[in-house]
Structure formats: structure tokens, C-alpha cells
Structure 1
């Protein structure tokens, strides 16, 4: 490689304290660049232009859609940027004098601007559009006059920037862990990128030396290279010399330098929400005081429809109204007549889980008005200020209200630490009812409780020592809890009969291997439960006993009528005789299935949800083919029938006459219960409220801080001064201009905890209307004056998940053909191919096709473009690898790709592994594994030991386990495999299955979340569990799993189509096969010739 770096003496590191003297200066400025006369930057999703000293700032691009990553052209006349117009992040350029921006790319995969070519004729961008696996993009260029983009190289490239010689690129080969929604400062796992300097002519690579740190944002100043690095802790500016040394230029502690760009001898960068400029000649640094007061549409106070933000619903005692919690407000909605009421009427305050009192006069809910979530007891009209009660002395706890009990004197609730409690409104004190020893996992209905009709008894379930749930009865008068099941089955979902004589519940004897949990071994296993009734009184009778109508005297009939009237006026006491109750449990005559949400109606029928079984069937899109349906069991007819289809949740009113139910599409409906139910939509049209975004964002910020305290797996938060972190980041909140910027602030704050799986995203961000762009499932190149199909990804025509537009039988298009026109419109030289496919996904499109670029013997072909071809590209890569391994090993070695450790990983492994059991050895490729579950199923199968052989009269000898391969195995790993993708190679190595080849994995085994969503539906995943290994040591977090044999993907090889990690895996298997002796018998013992043998 030609020497292009000259030696510059290292600057002395200097501590730069971000100036707060500019009290009126705007913060949350980001992504700056500079030219001879101007600077550009992003604030509130818009691109701004200012003088070099920060004066005279003005919007260069203003739109509701988000703009990002502005970069000046070399002469400073234009700015290239990425914009999210039409919900599609593409490349645009605009003059610094303003005017309409020019669009340069149209592909539906994000195109991120990185800079310019040295001559200013092309914009450099990165994109995942042609990536077949991996989580990092490739480098492209597109001409400013238009035309089709050109891929610079096959190797992955992030932050690429051309050197002055026009043939050398400085870049990093993969993304860092701390980016986007993921907050992970000072990551030290496998995803710590280096900066590589690659010569495109000689194919030589220089790696900037580093410890285990993150190096990124390389910048050329002449022939000198500068970069950002966190090798000393905080991200600082560094300088690399030809002698191979890296020296720190400056830092901005306590803030990281987040992005930087260079021009001339100066570097502009952001830190702590401010922009700073450093002169590499004078070694001076200045903070730019930029004051802007723009109109920010997302800050405007406005009325909003919050019907799509419903997070909790309950019914009034007689079903006249529903209490709805939406967008942090408590509403009551009439089921028939009347107006919707906002009961809480708060602004910048969050309310949660509203429930009605049994007498209907009060509503209880949670509110953080005091700075901590407290219990509020309010009248149902919201006219009087509710009484407030602290449920705990801990100010950061979260709760969920469940029900009133004991004549409305107690409120039952759950806290965020596995406790079921009640708050005594008279004594103003909380009491523990029961505590789960661990979380129950993702089991529908496992949290269900039931209060007896006289409100003196509570039925609930807790996990027992064997992982089965045990059903309990709690008496409020005695304060005693009594188990009514033994733990030999999984008993849950209790429901009292209306007369209080029976307690219905579900129980399963096969929950052990089926419960949805962290283990992959539970995948596709059906959960079967039966439904039961416990006769509560020792004098009671089974609800299934035969009944007989008998004629009685008029006098007796009159007495019974009076008795019934008295019973209706006064609730009868629920009699519970605990002695012998386990022997008074009867099974209902219903098939065992996956049931949840039991409730008894006023008609004495049992209502429940029948859910699809795992693995019972998938539709063409891969989702469960069946819906959850509401069933009704009639006690007289002893028969169950479906009464409502597509019900995922429901609740009955206290009088058990009215039902409120939700569908899988989020539609809420109500009806009177009975043998035939006719539902009507709940009128949510008036669920509207006035929202002050700045107040709501402040509440979200507070929730962020509190949730980390309450849900983080370690109570000490690893010793961090979390209050100090709050004080550091809270001032920036006043400068947030968009909801997306709030997410960035949250991610920055939670990144201080320096752990994986700590993420924030979503919420009421601006969502532009989507204009789709159709794809053909092909690599398109502009060659010979026309667009050529360089490669067609055929997928699998028989597979509903993997077919592609050009891979369907009967489509007369071949690889190498040229596409000359789309829907009758011919292409010109400056056209972008994908621009012709706007709004065509899923629609018929006419293509003019020819084997000749001039159009000789052209033909018209009708196709239906797809909206995403990533899976087709991935599967093509997988199949190519499998065939390559088969060819190179002469049929001896198989190849299995595992994309994650969740559903797709389970499916891919089963499909590929068991179909190659004829191989002698196997390569398991988990590179870019996205995680999910603990893949014990995979390692269990891979480590299966040969137990015995079988002799049939006919056919070959076979053995047990049938689905096992006894030969050598190896696993390919890389920096993009993480979470479950960390655990899988750990387990593979721990169980002695084989060697690991590649690079160190991500290193994230603190995961993932049980905390609530934000008030506007945004999400934050607070890591609540941490994994340690079999030796009792913390596993992989912030270190990753190291390979036994390290092999990197260097650009010179990747650009030639070589996969050195796969090649090394093949070599390893062939070497191990030389010493391997098969243990599975292919011949039987000698057949006996004597009887009795």
C-alpha cells in the first residue's frame, strides 16, 4: 500500500470542560460537518446551516420527516443528507442556498450518507440493500446527476471515507454495540470495531492498533488520520501516525464525543449536546454558542385521539361503563348512553390500572403526581380530588391494581418484585398475600386472581418448588393463605361461581416441558390443561350432578320466590371448608387444550379462552393460523360452544352480566353474556385528550430513571451514582425538539450503566406516510447502457416464505437479461432503477425484457414485486454455503445455519440438521445470530450419544437416537452473534461438542425486560436477569465468547468472494475426520441360531 500518512507529533491530551456559560445556547445539536465558510448540523430532525462561528443559524431543510447525516460537498456548495421521506431513508442533496432537494436513491432499505468522493461528483453512502447476512452495511456511491448506485466493494464498511489519493478508504468493518436504540457505553465484548485503512488497488489493509475498545469515525486531514476512540474510557479524539501509534488529542469528560467530521485543518464534533471545533494546527478548541428558537411542530400542545393507546380496561359493577387507561389518563366510556369522561384530567402525570369499587362509587388508579406511583381513590366522575396513599416507602416501585375486596375496604395489587399484596384503606397499610419465588415466564392467565362474591376470599396461584403453580385461597379476616392443590399439576386461573359455591380453575399435568420460557426446548410443544371445579363447602355438591324438574305447591313456590329476592338483595357469605377440599375437585367434561382467562357469568356458565397450540399451524406469513376464541361451558347441558371468535382478553362486570373483550387487532367490543352473544364496538371515538409534549416528555424521562432503579437486575445498579447521572442529563431535556430526540437522550443516559440489552425506542414519533418500493429479488447493475440482472435470487417456489418475483415457474426472465422499461416507461442513463418501482410492491408490473442491452427480441413479462428481499438473499447465501461445504468435503460434511435462537433458529436448525444426518461431520454456523432463547435444544441434539442399534427384517440397520450425528462438529461465530448467540457457543464448547472458529461474540447476557411501556407506547428494555455459568461465574457479559481459532474476514478475501471462516471450518472437519472412528453400528450382532437367545 502506498504511504499516504505523514508523521505528526502527538498532541498532548487536554481535558475540555463543556462550557455552560452560554446559558441561552441550544443543546441537543448533533451530526455536524464543516466547509470553508459554513457548518451544518442536525437539530430536532432538521438540517441547519450556520456560519463557521455558529452565528446566523437557519434551517436548510425543514420538514416533518426526519433528516440526518449532513455532509458538505468538497467545494462547500451542496449538502448531501439522508431523509426519511415516505418512510424510506434515502440520499438527497441540496444547495446551501436552499431550494428543493434532489433525490438520488430509492431503494427501500436505508441508505445512510457518509460523505463525498474527492471530486465532488458522487455521494458516498452505506446500505444493507445487498447484504445476505451480517448486521453491517456495504459502501456505495451515487452520482449527483442521478443514475444507478455503484457498490464500491463487497466487504462490509461503516463510516467509510476516501483518502486524498482516491484509492484508499478508512473505515470500520462492523458497527459498534452502542448505537441506535442500544445504550452501551464502553462496550468491551466482541463488537468493538477497529479502524481499517484499505487500498482498493493493492488490496492491502492496515489496522489502526487498539486495545479492546471502540474505534470509529475516521477522518482525513491531508494525509493524516484522526478518529474517535473510547480506549481510555470516554470517547475522545485520537490521532494515528505512520509509526503505528495512536495518541489522544482531547476529550470532553464527562461527555463522550459522539460524531465528528474534518475539513481543512479543523475538526467539528458534538459532545454534551453542543458543537465544538478543534484546530489541529493551533491545537485550540472552541465551543460554538449556537442559539436557535425555531417553531417545533412536535412540541406544540394539541388534542390527540388516544384510542390506539389503550393499556388497561375494566368494567363498572353493572356494566354501564368501562374504565379505560389510555396515554396515562383515566377515562370512563359509556357502553350505551352518555359521554366519555376524563376522570384524572392530569397533564404531564401518568395514571395506570384503573379499577371500579364493587359498589360502583369509586375508581382506584395509580398516579405519579407526587413523583412516585401512589394509589388514588377517586369518585367515578372525577369531580373531587382523589385521596392519595403511598403503597410503599420506596419511591421507585411500580404496581398493578387488580381488584377491590372485603366490602371495598381493601385494594389488591401486585408490585414489581413478585409480591401479591393488598392495601387496607382503613389502616392505610399494605400487607403481603403471597410472593412468587421467581417469575412465571410468558404464560397467559398465570397472574389471574379471583375474589369471592362476598369479597372475603381471594383465589390466586404461586409458583411451587417444581415450577408448577399451586392454587391458594386467602381469607381476609384471618390473614391466612391455604393451598388447595398439591403442586403435582399446574393449577391457575381461578374463577368463583356467582353463588360462591364453586371455584373453577385450569390444571395441567404436562406444563413442565411446554411452558414458554427462556429454554428453546419448549418450542412447538402443546400445553394441555383441563378445567376443574372445587366444591368449596363440605356440604356442597358437584356442579355436574344431574338435575330434575319437579312440580311444587304454589305456597312453596311463593316462599322460594321470596327467598330468591332476599338473596339478590344481600350477598350470601361464601362458605369454604378447607378440610378435604382437595378431594372435592371434579373435572369438567372438556377436552384438554390451551385455556386461559376463566370467568363465570350470571347464567352460571363458565367462560374461557381457547388458545392456539404452539406449532399447531402457521399461515403463509408464518403467524399462528388459528385465532383465540371465547368459549362457553353450559353446566346444564355439560357442553362447550364457541360464542365469540378472535378474543385475546376479556373481563366481566361484577354482576357477571356484561362482557368487554379485545381482539387480536386491538378492537374492543361489549355484549350481554349468554348462549348467544352479539357484540358491539365500544365507542372509543371520544378518547381524546390535550397533550403538552414537553410535560409528557418530562414524565417519560422520570419513568426512565425510575424504571432502571426498580427493574435492573442488580439493586445497586453496579455502584453507579444514578442520581448524579440524572443531574448530568436532565438539563438536556429542555432542548429536546422531537420524540425521536427524546429517545436519543434516554439511550445516552441509560448507556451509562454499560450493560447489554438496555434499549429505548418507539413512542409517539413522527411516522410519515409510507410509499413502498417494489423489489425483484435480484442484483441490478448498469452495464452496456442498460440495467442488467446480474444475479437472480430464486428462493424456493414451493415455500410460501421464500418465493421471489423472478423465481416463480413460468416467469420468462433469466439471469443476465436486461430490463429496458417498466410499465411502458423506458429507462435513460441518469435513471435510478428502483425509482421506477415506487408503489409497486404486491402489484402487477409489466417489464420489457431482453437478452440484449439494445433491446433485440425484447418481450413483455408481468411480475409482482416484493417489498423485502432480505430473507431470499440470506437463504441464497445459506444454500450456497451448504453446497460449497458439500463440494469441498466430497459429501462428507454438512452445513447448518442458525440465524437466531428463537423461532427462526429452531426452524432452520430442524430443517437443515435432520436432513443431513447422512453426513460424517457438521458445521454449525451461528454468525450474526440474533439471539432469543437459551438454545439448549440445539446443544442437546448435537451432543446426543449413540445408545443402541435396531435390526429390522428388511432394510438397513438403524440406531437410537435416530436424529443424531456422532461425528465431529464445529461452530462458526462472529462479533454480530449475541445474547442467545453468546450462550449457544458457550454451551457448544462447555458440552465438549467441538471447536469455535471466527471472532469473539457480542457479549450480552444481561437481558431483557419486564418493565412497563412508556406513557405514549414507547419501549425501554431494562435488563432484569443476568446469566452465570455452571462454575458460578458471570457469563460473557461485556466480554463475549472467544473462538478457539480466530479467523477474521479481511476485505481482500471478502471482495474476492472468499469466506475464510467457512474455509477454516471445512479444514477443521476434514482434519478431525481423519482421526474419527464411527461408533454407530452398521452391522448387527450375529443372528442367534438357538431358541431363547
Structure 2
């Protein structure tokens, strides 16, 4: 569904956009047969306009998204795709407008490409059950009669065009994202032709810069296409008979995309940047089409929404006033009325609010993307509480404009600390004066103040990306001290309020488990015996029960928590200063572990008296918040203090814990916590900040029942918001992209080019397109912007609409778990094969290849029957089949179908079985085969298992990383494949070997061959490069994509998520960047279309052939003759 920003447009579609509004970024343009009219999709609807430009009118208006309109050959009908029924399905309607009719019902969904010249069939693309990867196929769909879609050929492709006689198909294979500019490599788009009569494929155009989007000329002798031979995709033409190829447009910066030709060949339309152009053969230059919206309505300039969820929070020390961020603005409220008062109302994003002492002000970061600074808000009327003020003063504190994050106030309230750019750490006075760089860092540190404000404890990545815990004096009077000194990551350091201990989390115990560790800063505290701890606890218990000199009438004041009343300011008790003392000798050896088996702890925070250490974790299956008594005694277990988890946790002096949980500011009494089983909460993300888990509040969508619910009314300008969101994306690349040259682009000029377009965007789809075009200027992998979280400024924050009747179930096209023979003449449907593990592979509903399904639900099956007629229905509904076996006998089978999505997983297993059988056959049982689908730990554990299950007794192993999208486990694989062989072990009566329990992983030291292809990405490419660099084996297949950058992600306001490539990878031998430099196999071999889906795998065949040769060479290597000690001459 589209997500329009305009309130009016959201309500009624594009009909309420201003009358003079230019249409930017129209999608999927198509021309009438004579080229005089133009249709396109924009703002989620189908539009019609004159090819000469001017006002456009909407032909569809509905809550779904309509797209890909195409004129019929006679110009009377429009076909288009719509998700109004849930799936992307084809519809037709009169070209002048009118009610649409649905013409297909298979819920796998469709893309519309073209009309057949007969005016009855559509050329469509859909993903069914043909292959586990790249399963999209081309079909002809009959619009006049409901029947089965006709498969054109069994392999993948995109951007297809039917010849005028309908006998040939031009299509594209491969290709990176359409918005990427300048790519070269194995992923470059290729143009192919398929002849339906001869059923042969012809490669027509292949260039390292890419050729795509072919369109037949009316005479069928050649075609137009877009090609990047000169660096930027321009319109070109190609003659099939002569091979003559020439450029028709001369765009230097903006790429030609989405070309479409009128059926008479007189006019061609395409988009460049945000506008459509026409080009007429023989006229030379293209002409821009100026389109506007035809309507009498004017939308409001500002958007209004009710905010009910916060993204950041800061509680006052007494917990009675709350500053929070919602919708990118700063608000404040109390805990009783909970009526938010808006402090800021900017298009920029405010974040990280911090209270100044005694409530004199609020510090916060204002992030405009291009420029970021710290500001201070104060009440206009200081005689009133914050939440009773109607106006506030805002003062800029820093003025350097550099990116800032992780703002905090020192415990004495005199200094503020923050990170700049990628991680340089600064301390300044609270008014911004005297900023000092305390620490130079290329990555953001994770830190906490000492209670006397004289020290910092922090974790920081080193050059090996290992985090240690460091202690640094604020005055830099001594070098930073490495407290943890361990090769596994430590993080989340927190200093106890009494100044005596530092706690942190670490993986130092091995494996993936994270535990809590702590160190006493003074030797004498570390040496306190267990009895001394119990003695102190007994004394404290008696002193608490029998306080000295307790006078009648004072209990009420003491119960209020030792606060001094200060009018409308905070009630804070002046604490005695804590003098932190550190015994440096062997401090790093005074580290203790608090272990919880099978649990990863995070989000540490202390109680005010330093006697409890709280954390988020899973104990006995319950994900919740727990606390250890501190110092712990023996094998003490933590107690659950809340059944939920949260971020920004702070244990107040009043005894309450305040935090952000489920998007709500909340507080609770840890001594009265419930022990109900919580809903599962995702594990904490890395990057913890002084209590709580960064991101957990966003992950946990269920509001905290103890939370302070609010509704904050916000008004903003959508265009300004999009402009700032664009600047956030632009600045993130400027500051963090791994190569500061940013694709050798003028990054300031890039901003000037695209920011105005983002400002004009009316919806998230257009905003996303603008951001993608900006990213495309970098010409790099691992880039992209995805809308998410909030669906836009009117996302989940909008109050729920009045209840309307809802469907009790969702209709879907289901799968029997059996694939069918294409073009079987009937009667019935003949079974081609059974997918292992699917419905037809179960004992009570088993089917067999070669059998014929005659009926489903009592309906006779004919070859042309639309499968959706008998297979559409609720997901959990069984179907009854009448099946005829090879001997002619019939039987009834009751079967519960599965989904097409689930079938794609079954197809993967089917493909694996085929490959393993093929290698077994080609090698005479001497070689094994395994495929690594992803570079993640679950795939690695499967790999380790298959080293045995597929490799046991074999002489060599085929390791396949084709279609592997990457991850991070290349070094784990290499550890298993390059284990040093230094000895041979033989037990009494046994054979030569080596004890497996002495190895890090199961290992393989026999010959291997690695298969890779153009769809091997990232870490799979690093692995392929490494196999060559280490001379571990031969590599066979197609060159990898050249897409190697370590990436993270960054939230962009409430608009979406930006991928953040931050670390480059370079070859150890030549120092070359692996980006745009794919691993080239020793033997390069590309498959032809339609081979792989029918089991012809020439890459695998070649791999087996190469490996057999490697095995023969390996067998000839000299091996030592084993000689026992008793066989030596001196021992005889």
C-alpha cells in the first residue's frame, strides 16, 4: 500500500493535490498505439495525460497501489497491476476510465510487461515453483478467458518485450539496482532473445557496464534499449542482422530508465531523473514532458498527527517530570495528567534529552543532517513546573555543526560529554565553552562517568575490531588504562555510584554467550572475605530495623525519599561527594564473572546504593529485567525485577526504575515487580548506552502496562521533513561511507541536485527514489534505503480508524507439494516430481511422479484450467484429490496444501539432493558436495556437519557458494579448511587419523573445488578470493559480483532505514579493493538460459572434472612411512 504524506491525499488519493503541482517521478510510462496519449502510475494511482504534457487526470482511486499501466494494441483498454485485493494482480479497464475487472487470481502475484499483438494476452512475470532462486518466469495471460497462464520458457529474466509477431522475446538477465550509476562487473545486465518456434536462446548484447530494457521496433528487425557503454545509461538502438549499435541520447549525468514505445513506432517515452521525455525517431534530441495535476482541490500545507510513542526519554531525578522525543520533537509532561507540552517544533530531529541540575534546563541534540549541534531549552516561567509552561526558550550551545551523539552530563552537573563525527570524544562546559577532545576515535565509544566526574570508563574498537574496557582521567593526567585486556568484545561499562566497582559485559568465556563481569577498583575491596560481606549485611539489616534517634512524626518525611523541596524545581538531596580511588597494580587481574548459563546479559545499570546490579537477559526461558545483589555471594542467582525490558534505564533515588519500554516512558518499583512470563523480546542490539538496551524499546511493540500513556498533537510540513530526512542520508554517507571519495563524486553538488527533489516529494515512495538516486552516485554495493518503522509521518502514530468488518481469512493460492508437467495434454494434471518434505511427500497424502491428478474437490482437471480455481482458499483447508496411478488404478487422497513461499524452501532441498546425486554419479562415489547458502553461523554449523556427512570416506569435496548473499563467516570456513596438519595419530589396533576433539572445528584437508557465480556476494566473495590467495583449491564458475563492503544500518528519523557501508576489504597479495573487483575463477564458465532449471549444471560438471584432477595430484604427494619408537635401530 502506498503511504501518502498529504492528509488530503491519504484520504482520497491523488485527487487533492494542488492544481498547479508538477508531477515528478511518474513511474512506468506507456504510450497509446499512436503515441498521442500517455499513461503512468504516480502516487499509487493510474494517470492519463497528453504526450505533449499539461494536466493529467487520475483513472483509478483506491486505497491499494495501482501500477504498470499498458495500452492494448487497439488503444481501447488499459491493463495494470493492483494490490487492492492483497496480492499484486492484473486488472483491465477502459482506457478513458471506468470500472476495472480482475483478470487473474494467482496470489503469487504478477508484474505486467506488455500486451501481445493479438490484444487478448498479456505478457506478465510471476514467481511460481520453477526454481529455488530466481524463480521469476514469463507467462502469457489470457484476458478474455480465465485459464492457466502459459509459460514461455523455464528460466529467469526481466524487462521482456514481445516481437510484433509474438514469436520472439527480448529480455534482460542480471543487472544491479536500476538507480546505481557506473557499475561494471559480472552483475552487469545482458540482453538476450528467445525464439518461441525454435526454442533457442541468443545472446545479443553484453557489456561490462550493462545493457537493459529492450523494446522491439515495429518492423521486428531491431530494438531500442538503454546501455551504459559510455558510463551512463542512454537510449540506444540495435540492428539484429548487422549488429549495428548506436547511441540516440546524450545524457551525461542522469540515466535513461523505463523506456516505452508507441505501437506505431512514432514516439518513445522514458524517464530521466524525475521527468518524462519523448523522443521521436529521426528528430534527434528528446523533449521534456511537463505534467501537472488536474484537480480543483488544494491540500493543507501542514500535516497533523497524534503521537503516542516515544523514541527517547529522560526522567527528572525525582521521576516526576519526563522529557521525551516523539516524532522527532522534544516534549515534556508530568506523570499524573500526562499532557505533553511541546518544546521544539522543527523539521530537524531532536534527540538525546538530558536534564540540567535542579531542572534549570534541558540539553538536547538537534540533528539537521548537514549540520548538528547541541541546544539548551529553558522555561519561560521558572515559577511553574516544566509541564505547566506554555513557552520555552531555545539557545544554541555548540556551533561547529559537526555530527554529534551520545550526549551526557557529568554527575556534578558541570560538564557535558558527547561524540563527534565517527567517534572523537569531547568534554565541554554545559554552556558549550572550552570543548576538549578527550579521545580520538574512528568509532563511537560506549562510556560512563565516574561518580566524582573525574574519570571515564569506556569501551572502544581497536584496529582488529575488538572492544576492550578502558579507564581515562578527564584531565588526561595519565594514559588510558586497559582494564579488560581480552581478545573478545567487552561493552556496556557502568561505574557503581559509590565509585568502588566497574561492571561490564563480555564474551570472554567463549562461544556466543555474553556474561557480566566486574572489577573492584581498590585491592582491599577485592580481598573482602565472604564472611565479612555477610557480617556487613547483618549490621545493615539491624541498623535499618533499629535506626538511632528516630523521632515520632519524621517517618512520613523519610518515606518521601530524602528530597529537599525547591519550589517548582526538582527535589534533590545534596549528596556527599564520592572520591574515587583506584589501585592500579594488577587492576586488570581483579576481574570477576557473574555467569548465567545460556543467557546473554545486556543493558547494565546500578541501584543508587550500589548494592544491586540490574540487567536485561533470559533466565530459565524468561526474557526480562533482573538484578544481582552486589557484591554477590557464591553462586547467587539474580531476581527478576520486571517482566519487561527497556532502554534508557535509570534507578532513581526514590527506589523506582524509570525507562522507555514498548515506546512508552515507564517506571516501576523493583521490589514489587511481577513475575509473570513476558512476551518474547528480541535480543539487545550492540551499542549500549548507560543502562537499558539501545533499540529494545523499538523492538518491543507491546506497550508497557506500567507506562505513562500520552497523546501529543504534532503539526509539521511534509516537504521540510523529507528535505531533512534526505540530509540525514546524505550526511551519513559523507561521514561514514568507507571511501571518503564517495565514488569520486562532488558530494556537495550531489546534495544540491537531489535535495530539492526530496523537498518536493509527496509520498515515501518518491522520497525513497530520490534517496536511491543520491546513493547511486557513489556506485557501490550494500547501499539502499528501506521505509519501515513508521510508515511515514502518518504511520502507526495515527489514531486507529473506526472499526470496520474484517475478513476472517485470507485467500491464497496453495501448492500440493508436487510439480506438474508443462503442456501435458490431459486429461488431468501429470506429476513431474515430488518436493521432499512437502505435502505430497507425507505418508497419508503421498503422491508419485508420473501419476495424474484427475480431480480436485470433485472438479475435473483440464490442462487449461486456472489452478487458482481449485487451489485458492484458506491456508488450513484440506483438499480431496482423485489420483490415477501409472497402472490406471484410481484412489482418493486428502492433502493439506502448503504455500508457494514454503515451496521455495522445498525447492532448495530438491536442488541440493539433485546436486549431491550428480556429484556422486560423476565421481563414481569418490567426491562429496555441499552448498553454503549464507555466510551465517547456522549455515556454518550445517557446513561443519556436512564435512562429515558428505565428506566421510570421500577423496575430495565440492564446496558451492553460488547464490550466496554473504554474511560474516568466511574465516570460520577457512579455519575448518586450512587447519594445520602437523602430526598423525594412530591408536592400538586403529588406523591413521587425528583426534577431532583437539581441533577448533571439524576440518577438511583433502582437495576441494569451490563454485561461485555472479550472485555470490560480499563474504562469499571474500571466501572465494581467499581460496585463491591461499592456494587452497581451484575456483570454478562465473566471476563474483564485486560487492564487498562491511555494512551496518542507521535509522533515518521515522522515515526508514539506511544501509551504512563502513569498512572496505582489500586483497592481501595485491592490496586491491574487493569492491568492484570480483573473484575471478580459475575456470570461468557461464550457464546458458534454461539449463539449470532442468538439471543441466555445466559449472558443477566442470567443478567435478577439475576436482578429480586435483585429487589425482594429491594422491601422488609423498606421505611419510610411520615408524614406531621400537622400530628405531637404537631401540632394537
Distance in 1 of aligned mates of 2:546 and 2:774: 77
Q: Cα distance 1:1052–1:366, how it changes in 2: closer, same or farther (>3 A)?
A: closer
Structure 1 pair 589–723 and aligned structure 2 pair: CA distance change class (3 A): closer
CA deviations over 1:117-139 (Å, ceiling 9, x no partner): 23222211223333534447322
Q: Show the counterpart of 1:34.
A: 31
Q: Does 1:788 align with 2:829?
A: yes
Distance 1:725 1:919, change over 3 A: same
Q: Which residue of 2 aligns with 1:1008?
A: 1047
- 1:293-351 per-residue CA deviation (whole Å, 9 max, x = no partner) reads 5599999854435445x4333332122344332331223455x4122414334142211
**Residue equivalent to 1:921:** 956
**Structure 2, unpaired ranges of 5+:** 1-18, 379-385, 565-571, 676-703, 797-805
Contact 2:128 2:135 in 1 (8 A): no
Question: Which whole-Å deviations, capped at 9, do the CAs of 1:35-93 have from their partners, x for residues lacking one?
Answer: 22432112222221223433563222222322222222222222232323355323333
1:966 aligns with 2:1005: yes
Between the aligned partners of 2:544 and 2:53, the Cα distance in structure 1 is 98
Q: In the alignment, is the contact (CA less than 8 A) between 1:738 and 1:765 conserved in 2?
A: no
1:28–1:272 Cα contact (<8 Å) kept: yes
User: Take 1:857 and 1:688, find their aligned partners in 2: how far apart are those partners?
Assistant: 68
Contact 2:1018 2:1042 in 1 (8 A): yes
Aligned to 1:807: 841
Q: Once superposed, what is the RMSD of the aligned Cα atoms?
A: 4.1
Task: Give a deviation string over 1:633-672, Cα, whole Å, max 9, x none.
Answer: 3548663323134536450144272224567x77875311
Distance 2:596 2:463 in 1: 24
Deviation at 1:742, TM superposition (A): 0.8
2:733 matched residue in structure 1: 708
Is residue 940–residue 969 contact of structure 2 (8 Å, CA) maintained in 1? no
1:388 aligns with 2:389: no
Q: CA deviation at 1:467?
A: 6.0
In structure 2, how many angstroms separate the alpha carbons of the residues matched to 1:356 and 1:1080? 74
Q: Does 1:741 align with 2:766?
A: yes
1:399, 1:416 within 8 Å by CA — same for their partners in 2? yes
The structural deviation recorded for 1:904 is: 4.8
Given the alignment of the two structures, is residue 724 of structure 1 paired with residue 731 of structure 2, yes or no?
no
The answer to whether residue 776 in structure 2 is matched with residue 751 in structure 1 is yes
Looking at structure 1, the residues matched to 660 and 853 of structure 2 have their Cα atoms a distance apart, in angstroms, of 48
SS in 2 for 1:674: helix
| More off after superposition, 844-853 vs 902-911 | 844-853
CA pair 646-950 structure 1, distance change in 2 beyond 3 A: farther
For residues 474-520 of structure 1, the C-alpha deviation after alignment (integer angstroms, 9 at most, x for no partner) is 5556776652726257654333334x242231365837xx6xxxxxx
Contact 1:315 1:651 in 2 (8 A): no
Structure 2: distance between partners of 1:1076 and 1:681: 68
The 5-angstrom pairing of residues 801-950 of structure 1 reads: 804-815=838-849, 832-834=866-868, 840-841=874-875, 843-851=876-884, 857=890, 859=892, 861-863=894-896, 865-866=898-899, 867-917=901-951, 918-933=953-968, 935-950=970-985
Mapped contact 1:634–1:640 kept (Cα < 8 A): no
CA 1:966/1:497 → structure 2, altered by over 3 Å: closer, same or farther?
Answer: closer
Could you tell me which residue of structure 1 aligns to residue 1015 of structure 2? 976
Query: How far apart, in 1, do the equivalents of 2:136 and 2:159 lie?
Result: 10
- C-alpha deviation, 1:281, in angstroms: 4.7
Partner of 1:367: 366
Check the 8 A contact 1:671/1:677 in 2, yes or no.
Answer: no
Q: What does the per-residue CA deviation read over 1:544-594, in whole Å, with 9 as the maximum and x for residues that have no partner?
A: 723255689999933999999799943111112234465598566733664
- Partner of residue 232 from structure 1, selected from 230, 233, 241: 230
Question: Match of 1:534?
Answer: 521
Match runs of 1:107-186 below 5 Å: 107-135=106-134, 137-144=136-143, 145-174=145-174, 176-179=175-178, 183-186=179-182
> Which whole-Å CA distance do the structure 1 matches of 2:659 and 2:843 have between them?
45
Judging changes above 3 Å, is the alpha-carbon distance between structure 1 residues 233 and 1074 closer, same or farther for their aligned structure 2 residues? same
- Distance in 2 between residues matched to 1:291 and 1:999, nearest whole Å: 47
Aligned to 1:800: none
CA distance change for structure 1 residues 155 and 300 in 2, over 3 Å: closer, same or farther?
farther
- 1:249 matched to 2:248: yes
- Contact kept? 1:32, 1:40, Cα under 8 Å: yes
Name the residue aligned to 2:1082: 1044
- What is the SS of the residue equivalent to 2:291? coil
1:784-840 C-alpha deviation (Å, 9 max, x unpaired): 5676363565444xxxxxxx3333432244455566777788878876424655562
Residues 985 and 772 (structure 1 numbering): CA distance in 2 closer, same or farther, change over 3 Å? farther
1:591-606 matches, cutoff 5 A: 591=595, 594-602=600-608, 604-606=610-612
CA separation of 1:835 and 1:691: change in aligned 2, threshold 3 A: farther
Which deviates more from structure 2 when the two are superposed, residues 1015-1024 or residues 467-476? 467-476
The answer for the alignment partner of 1:801 in structure 2 is none
Contact 1:756 1:1037 in 2 (8 A): yes
Alignment match, 1:337: 336
Deviates more, 1:206-215 or 1:228-237: 206-215
Aligned 8 A contact 2:503 2:518 in 1: yes
- 1:613-624 alignment to 2 at 5 Å? none
- d(CA) in 2 for partners of 1:832, 1:233: 45
1:1036/1:501 CA distance change after superposition, 3 Å: closer
Question: Counterparts of 1:261 and 1:455 in 2: how far apart (Å)?
Answer: 67
Worse-matched range after superposition: 735-744 or 911-920: 911-920
What pairs with 1:402-551 in structure 2 (closer than 5 Å)?
A: 402-426=407-431, 428-436=433-441, 439=443, 448-463=446-461, 469-476=467-474, 482-483=480-481, 485=483, 487-488=485-486, 492-498=491-497, 500-506=498-504, 508=506, 510=508, 525-535=512-522, 545-547=533-535, 549=538
CA contact (8 A) 1:946 1:959 kept: no
Cα distance in 2 for partners of 1:674, 1:383 equals 37
**Structure 2 residue aligned with 1:517:** none
Distance 1:554 1:642 in 2: 23
- Please give the alpha-carbon distance, in whole angstroms, between the structure 2 residues aligned to 1:924 and 1:298: 59
- After TM superposition, the score normalised by the length of structure 2 is 0.82
Q: How does 1:292-331 map to 2 (within 5 A)?
A: 292-293=293-294, 301-307=302-308, 310-331=310-331
1:930-988 Cα distance to aligned partner (Å, 9 max, x none): 01125111123223343332222355432366833333322222111111122121111
| Residue of 589, 599, 609 corresponding to 2:615 | 609
Deviation at 1:170, TM superposition (A): 1.2
- 8 Å Cα contact 2:743/2:779 also seen in 1: no
Distance 1:778 1:688 in 2: 55
In structure 1, the partner of 2:689 is: none
Separation of aligned partners in 1, 2:115 and 2:454: 74
**Residues 697, 790 of structure 1: alpha-carbon distance in 2 compared, 3 angstrom cutoff:** farther
Distance 1:860 1:312, change over 3 A: same
Asked if the contact 1:162/1:169 (under 8 Å) is kept, the reply is yes
CA distances 1:723-761 after superposition (whole Å, capped 9, x unpaired): 222232234335423211110111012211111112111
In structure 2, the residue corresponding to 1:339 is in which secondary structure?
coil
Q: Which residue of 2 aligns with 1:10?
A: none
Q: Distance in 2 between matches of 1:23 and 1:1001?
A: 49
Gaps spanning 5+ residues in structure 1: where? 1-21, 441-446, 515-523, 617-624, 797-803
Contact 2:1014 2:1041 in 1 (8 A): yes
Local SS of the residue matching 2:47: strand
Partner SS for 2:351: strand
Counterpart secondary structure, 1:1051 = coil
Asked if structure 1 preserves the Cα contact closer than 8 Å seen for 2:603 and 2:616, the reply is no
Structural mapping, 1:215-226, within 5 Å: 215-221=211-217, 222-223=219-220, 224-226=222-224
Q: Secondary structure at the match of 1:938?
A: helix
How far off is 1:149 after superposition? Answer: 1.8
